[in-house]
Amino acid sequence: MIENKKIIVALGGNAILSDDPTAEAQIAAIRQTCDRLVDLVEHNNQLIISHGNGPQVGNLLLQQQLANSEKNPALPLDACVAMTEGSIGYWMQNEMSSILKKRHIDKSVVSLITRVEVDKDDVAFEYPTKPIGPFLTEVEVAEAREDGGKYIEDSGRGYRKVVPSPKPVGIVECDTVKQLIEHGVITISCGGGGIPVLKTEEGYKGVEAVIDKDFASEKLAEQVKADVFIILTGVDHVYINFNKPNQKKLEQVTTEDLKQYIEQGQFEPGSMLPKIEAAVQFVEASDHGIAIITSLGNLDNIHQGAGTVVVKHKQVTSKEASITAEMY
């Protein structure tokens, strides 16, 4: 197991929401996730948790639209992102605290409402691509399009609404996160990719968009100088030629190799690609950091070589070698 490192773990929104959208089911899923994450805390790691909210914010938007009226107007997307960041963070904070208490670990947990600065000129505002919310049938999407939104077919599983997803410029609350880490506080930050804001002369202003949680997590990992950036997803490893007879899992892989695979179109844009791009970006921006892409179930086994480990060079530097050696 990794020990004595500063670790950011990015959780997908689908790791929190299963087929059952009730609060009870989401809390149960979060409880299982937190139980695995506390293992990292037991090995004296500084833990920062980020999470997605795609399904949750999409469901909240539908609720807002259904209840929309002159006396009860629907809230804008940035407010819905903040609401789901707060609710998921609250659940996670509760479950993490309970598990820490059961294991007799004296650690505080805080969920931080996090703003993430974006660029007003980002092309994403002209070309919305980020799927949010539930999968809809052709009949359902025909009715849903009446709200003026854009809907696309997603991975053969149905139609989903797509919204702008600008790249993060910086984490507004980064200094606060650093202070919390220095005081040993387990910090839940950049929930749902953070709340997208534009910097103005008067301060920050929310904007209708969602930020990919992998890119927001990477930016945070970069700014707090994390040692390890872990992206948890639905598969144990990253694969090339995925679901083909010649599919191959990637174990330790360099950023240059991953760039070549990206050029070959090996990774699905709405699925694995942002995770790969975020991992590459972090490793190349870091002096010694590594990135790991794996599943939650594999988290216990990363010291045995489980997961895809992204490094800067095939002949790793001494710093990278020492980190990798401690893992395996």
How much is the pLDDT for 328?
A: 41
**From 12, 53, 59, 130, the catalytic residue:** 130
225 is catalytic: no
* Helices 174-182 and 213-223, packing angle to 10 deg: 60
Contact 211, 196 (CB under 8 A): yes
Report all structural domains of the chain as residue ranges with CATH numbers, in order of start: 6-128+164-326 (3.40.1160.10)
Catalytic residue among 14, 86, 94, 107: 14
- Distance from chain centroid for Cα 63: 24
Order the strands of the 252-254 sheet from edge to edge.
109-111, 186-188, 46-51, 6-11, 228-233, 290-295, 308-311, 252-254
Instruction: Give yes or no: 130 in active site.
Output: yes
Predicted confidence at residue 145, as pLDDT, reads 74
CA distance 54 to 133: 6
Average pLDDT for the chain: 89
The pLDDT of residue 24 is above 70: yes
> Distance between CA 203 and CA 96 in Å, rounded?
33
Q: What's the whole-number mean pLDDT along residues 137-147?
A: 78
What's the rounded mean pLDDT across residues 283-300? 91
pTM: 0.87
Closest to 293 measured CA to CA, from 306, 282, 284, 304: 306
Distances (CA, A) of 117 to 90, 111, 192, 212, 258: 23, 19, 14, 13, 27
| Amino acid residing at 34 | C
Longest dimension (CA), the chain: 64
Question: Given this model, what pLDDT does residue 322 score?
Answer: 47
Model confidence pLDDT, tens digit, residues 155-208: 677 888 888 999 999 999 999 999 999 999 999 999 999 999 999 999 999 998
Given 5, 161, 219, 275, the catalytic residue: 275
More confident residue, 292 or 129: 292
- DSSP letter at 237 equals S
Give the separation between CA 216 and CA 315, rounded to whole angstroms: 29
Residue entry with tokens 């790991």: 292
Q: At what angle do helices 23-42 and 77-102 cross, to 10 degrees?
A: 60
161, 213, 219, 312: which is the annotated catalytic residue? 213
**Which alpha helices (H) appear in 103-191, and where do they start and end?**
138-144, 174-182
CB atoms within 10 A of CB 131: 23
Q: Is 14 a catalytic residue?
A: yes
CB 275 within 8 A of CB 215: no
Query: What does R_g of the chain's alpha carbons equal in angstroms?
Result: 19
| Sequence-ordered list of residues with C-beta below 8 angstroms from that of 46, at least 6 positions apart, any chain | 5, 6, 7, 181, 184
Question: pLDDT tier at 57 (50, 70, 90 boundaries)?
Answer: confident
pLDDT at 131: 78
305 is catalytic: no
